[in-house]
Chain A
Amino acid sequence: MKKQSEKPAKAHKKNRNVAIVGIGMTSLSSHKEDQNQPEMIHEAVRAALADAKMTLDDIDCIVHGNMELFEMQFHPDMWHVLGSGAYGKDEYRITTGGTVGATMVCAADNLVASGLYDTVLAIGFEKLQEGNTTGGITNMADPLWFRNIQTGALTGTTAAMMIDEFGAERAKKAAMKYRILMDKHAMLNERAHRRFGLEYDQAEDLMKTSPQLVGELRLIHMCSQSDGACAMIFTHEKRAKKVCKKPVWVRDHITVHREENMSNLYAFEKPEMTHHYAARKLFDRNGIKDPVKYFDVFEMYDPSAWWGLDWTREFLQLKGDEHLRMLEDGEFDLDGKLPLNPSGGVIASNPIGATAMLRPAEAALQIRGDAGGHQIKKEVRHALASGFGGTMWTVLMMLEKDLDW
């Protein structure tokens, strides 16, 4: 089968190293009726500035983004200036679907690394309760052909494939274990939106009675719809070392798109998944032989329990049922070999335009040791974070505690 073009591995060459020096998040909840969009954004911006001990005067450029069509507001970057602080500064609006938060981190990293700007503020936000998410997502499909049957972000195909590969009992049990593990992590994270307090003995009951959405994808497996914002501040090595005690370094990142539209995803012969391709390329060019051993935490964009579980195999370059065994053996727990989504992940909180930024933000907090209730006990030096969107787009990035690679 035809593969995407293969070029020899080449790491990103940067003019200068870039560090995350400020992180701000709002709480994540189902409704934020007491704040309008600029006010919500400003809460995250203030928090990031306070974290970096900076003021808006220190910011040279702002990167702003969310999902197109979700709040049905045109030019949000313009009328959010009150909240973003972009008045009199360069501002770029980015919108790449679910990946947008991660794309903003890539953009901010590139803007600083290039030398064009010294300090960049990136802001991701979403108020999902203000729009019609499924309606909005449906509009990503080809208007002439696929839009009339598209179901937004809901698909049961992965569940069907996992059941086919591992048997119904093991697959369904694993998906529920994944779901409950994420809830257990969310219970430790005060900012998380949905914290149910689920116990493992509820798995049997929920996997049978939770309402079916598509195939074996049930309501319990699916992520939430949240309101919230995240802001991050990036600066170059020289300044970061001067102003910040615990800078977190952006080592490398990769973005992979597909060529087909969604309708072509599931034939008998399947092309290499973007997640697998992205991870393979990124690890190869950075000399990572065993990602499970190398990384201390993985913050993954997991829109559903089925997808989350399936994608661990792709991202971590695992074979056969290795990913299931890791889950079953507790290796994704906070004290496991590779803690997965200590924040509770996307299943717990999903303000989409901020979601993919929350992944590197949470990973960076883990490296700093500032995650709070969901901090991993052992030292975190190497972190992996992913974003997902559109027709299986992937952004994957590596963060480091030390400048020693």
Chain B
Amino acid sequence: MTTMTCKKEDTTNCFVFEGKMALPNQYFVGRLGSKFIIALRDKKKILGLKCPKCKKTFIPPREYCHFCQTKIDENWVELGNEGVLVNYTIVRYLGKHLPKKVPYILGQIKLKGADTPLTHIVEGVDFKDVRIGMKLKAVFAAKTTNTLLDLDHFEPL
């Protein structure tokens, strides 16, 4: 039996292989999430959940109040389709998983009647003109994807 020696420093035979990992998966949105998406999709309405104790309204929906842990899953309220931009950034890097062609504005919009902002895409405004405090309205998607993108984007009022 012949032996050969290969020391750690010897990188002659170090290879790199290309690989791939493709795993299908699904996500159960749940009872609350489904109600929220279906309202967007079928009625073009944005729903929130309100804590009767703290008087805070949450969007997207959640089962329990963030502050007092009260169960609020039945306490739906209809929010307006208009709101105010409270924060934004401009997405410029290319990524195949991004929902829109870059560059685009990703904003946080506080809807009428909501206490938490909703993060979404802002269109129809020049990058140089976008500013915190501007009034926006929701534009709904024509084709449903059964996701938050059934609300396609927000644009200036």
Contact = CB atoms under 8 A, between A and B. Distances in A.
Direct contact between A and B in the complex (CB less than 8 angstroms)? yes
Interface of A: 31-36, 38-39, 42, 55-56, 69, 71-73, 82, 85, 87, 127, 129-132, 135-136, 139, 143-144
Contact of B23 (A32, A72, A127): A72
A132 B29 contact: no
B28 A35 contact: yes
Contact of A132 (B19, B24, B32): B24
Contacts of B31: 34-35
Nearest to B64: A42
B27 interface: yes
B80 interface: no
Contacts, number: 57
B24 A135 contact: yes
B95 interface: no
B156 interface: no
B32 A39 contact: yes
B136 to A, nearest CB: 25
A34 B30 contact: yes
Given A42-B64, A56-B69, A129 B26 contact: yes
A135 B25 CA distance: 10
Contact of B25 (A34, A35, A39, A132): A132
A260 B19 CA distance: 22
Given A36-B28, A39-B32, A135 B23 contact: yes
Contact of B64 (A69, A82, A143): A82
B21 interface: yes
Contacts of B69: 55-56, 85
Contacts of B93: none
Interface in B7-36: 17, 19, 21, 23-33
Contacts of B23: 69, 72, 131-132, 135-136, 139
B63 interface: yes
Interface string B89-115: 000000000000000000000000000
Contacts of B28: 31-36, 127, 129-130
Contact of A143 (B17, B24, B32, B63): B17
A71 B33 contact: no
A236 to B, nearest CB: 25
Nearest to B69: A56
Interface in B32-69: 32-33, 62-64, 66, 69
The 8 closest A-B pairs by CB, nearest first: A36-B30, A72-B25, A34-B31, A131-B25, A33-B28, A35-B30, A135-B23, A132-B23
30 contacts: A31-B28, A32-B28, A33-B30, A34-B31, A36-B27, A36-B28, A36-B29, A36-B32, A36-B33, A38-B63, A39-B32, A42-B63, A42-B64, A55-B69, A56-B69, A71-B27, A72-B23, A82-B64, A82-B66, A87-B66, A129-B28, A130-B25, A130-B26, A130-B27, A130-B28, A135-B23, A135-B24, A136-B23, A139-B23, A144-B17
